[in-house]
């Protein structure tokens, strides 16, 4: 019989190295998976880990994928550190994109087809992104309200709201917001140029959202480790009884964590809609809100670690697309690698905190009795 026993003092070095060990195990299992599928394992690993960083264009696409992942994971890290389990960042991402998209559509709604008469001019992208933040916060506020007033489980509420957001997106792009000149495709009109996030190096798709994400990393780091409110959130997550004794409000922590997380997810949605997409389509939900959960944990809930984890997860996204086009494998291989990374990380963390002990039959009978 095998038994897990808590270690007296888990290794801090191994805790830091756990994501790297998990990545190595993911690569090892992935190699076997490619062999089982009848593909050259070295070619498969090249598609996932070399080609996504092999050129300027590849790095540009990598940054486009990493930007929303990092932004959403930053907000989730704040939630998870405060023991608030926001699993519905995907819904907040979608609603943020919807709100940002509505404002972006007004940029061409004026009598002359210009800036809608509201006077924002070339700065239309600012209210577009602010609308995305507001939309994400509003969607997260629903979760906070139900948890605060009715003690509803935030995991279930936030998760169910993802499907509501997805249906709302479908209703709008198939109905009221459908582009009349779009040949009956379910999509909005293309956003006006002044409502689009500017590119940093045209014609590459890398855009100013990358800079926004890096600034957000710095701000979240300051909030978590250099502010009173961030300290209160983390104490509440680590030791709720100590937080109550110190006078920290659990209600305030709940609202702060969810609103911040929702705002960052909404910002990611706004950047995606007004950046590389330039319109709203049913393909907007790309699973970033769920993948960001893995990014947050692989990054050890630390802003700097989240940057590296976000880049790694972006490589999986691009690798899955390349595996489909170059190796004839299903695009769902992306999800397989994401799941492998999370599984191996959890396994490594478990073995770092616990040791496996073999118990003889006599000892096993004593445990059962």
Q: What percent of the chain is modeled with pLDDT above 70?
A: 93
Q: Pick the residue with more confidence: 7 or 169?
A: 169
Fold category of 53-328 in CATH: ABC transporter involved in vitamin B12 uptake, BtuC (1.10.3470)
Rounded Cα distance between 177 and 237, Å, is 42
Beta pairing partners, 357: 3
Rounded Cα distance between 79 and 301, Å, is 10
Tens of pLDDT, residues 153-199: 999 999 999 999 999 999 999 999 999 998 999 999 999 999 999 99
User: Is the pTM higher than 0.85?
Assistant: yes
In the chain, domain spans: 1-39+330-369, 53-328
pLDDT-wise least confident of 32-36, 95-99, 126-130, 353-357: 353-357
Q: Contact 336/112 with Cβ under 8 angstroms?
A: no
Q: What percent of the chain is modeled with pLDDT above 90?
A: 73
Q: Contact 47/319 with Cβ under 8 angstroms?
A: yes
Q: How confident is the model at residue 314 (pLDDT cuts 50, 70, 90)?
A: very high
Average pLDDT over residues 50-78: 96
Closest CA to 224 of 234, 235, 215: 234
State the average pLDDT for the chain: 90
Q: How confident is the model at residue 366 (pLDDT cuts 50, 70, 90)?
A: low
User: HEC states along the chain?
Assistant: CEEEEECCCCCHHHHHHHHHHHHHHHHHHHHHHHHHCCCCHHHHHHHHHCHHHCCHHHHHHHHHHHHHHHHHHHHHHHHHHCCCCCCCHHHHHHHHHHHHHHHHHHHHCCCCCCCCCCCCHHHCHHHHHHHHHHHHHHHHHHHHHHHHHHCCCHHHHHHHHHHHHHHHHHHHHHCCCCCCCCCCCCCCCCCCHHHCCCECCCCCCCECHHHHHHHHHHHHHHHHHHCHHHHHHHHHHHCHHHHHHCCCCHHHHHHHHHHHHHHHHHHHHHHHHHHHHCCCCCCCCCCHHHHHHHHHHHCCCCHHHHHHHHHHHHHHHHHHHHHHHHCCCCCCHHHHHHHHHHHHHHHHHHHHHEEEEECCHHHHHHHHC
Q: How confident is the model at residue 363 (pLDDT cuts 50, 70, 90)?
A: low
Residue 21 has pLDDT above 90, yes or no: yes
Q: What is the pLDDT of residue 112?
A: 41
Of the ranges 105-119, 139-153, 324-338, the best mean pLDDT one: 139-153
Only one residue has tokens 């999800």, namely 335
Q: What is the pLDDT of residue 156?
A: 96
Q: What is the pLDDT of residue 107?
A: 85
Q: How confident is the model at residue 116 (pLDDT cuts 50, 70, 90)?
A: very low
């Amino acid at each position: 019989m095998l038994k897990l026993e808590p270690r007296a003092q888990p290794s801090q070095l191994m805790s830091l190295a756990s994501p790297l060990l998990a990545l190595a195990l993911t690569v090892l299992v992935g190699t076997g998976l490619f062999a089982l599928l009848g593909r050259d394992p070295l070619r498969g690993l090249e598609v996932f880990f070399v080609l996504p960083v092999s050129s300027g264009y590849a790095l540009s696409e990598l940054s486009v994928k990493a930007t929303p992942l990092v932004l959403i994971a930053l907000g989730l890290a704040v939630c998870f550190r405060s023991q608030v389990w926001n699993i519905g960042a995907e819904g907040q991402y979608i609603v943020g994109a919807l709100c940002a998209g509505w404002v972006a559509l007004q940029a061409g709604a004026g009598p002359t087809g210009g800036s809608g008469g509201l006077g924002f001019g070339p700065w239309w992208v600012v209210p577009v992104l602010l609308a995305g933040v507001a939309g994400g916060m509003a969607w997260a506020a629903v979760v906070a309200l139900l948890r605060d007033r009715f003690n509803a489980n935030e995991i279930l509420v936030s998760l169910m709201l993802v499907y509501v957001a997805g249906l709302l997106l479908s209703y709008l792009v198939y109905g009221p917001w459908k582009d009349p000149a779009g040949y009956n495709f379910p999509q909005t009109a293309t956003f006006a140029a002044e409502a689009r996030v500017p590119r940093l190096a045209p014609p590459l798709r890398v855009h100013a959202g990358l800079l926004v994400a890096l600034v957000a990393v710095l701000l979240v780091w300051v909030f978590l480790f250099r502010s009173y409110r961030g300290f209160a959130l983390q104490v509440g997550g680590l030791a709720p009884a100590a937080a109550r004794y110190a006078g920290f409000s659990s209600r305030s922590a709940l609202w702060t964590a969810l609103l911040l997380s929702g705002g960052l997810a909404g910002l990611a949605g706004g950047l995606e809609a007004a950046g590389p997409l330039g319109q709203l389509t049913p393909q907007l939900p790309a699973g970033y809100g769920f993948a960001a959960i893995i990014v947050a944990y692989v990054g050890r809930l630390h802003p700097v670690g989240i940057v590296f984890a976000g880049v790694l997860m972006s490589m999986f996204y691009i690798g899955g697309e390349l595996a489909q086009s170059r190796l004839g494998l299903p695009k769902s291989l992306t999800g397989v690698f994401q799941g492998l990374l999370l599984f191996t990380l959890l396994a490594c963390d478990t073995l770092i905190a616990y040791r496996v002990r073999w118990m003889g039959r006599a000892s096993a009978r004593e445990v059962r009795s």
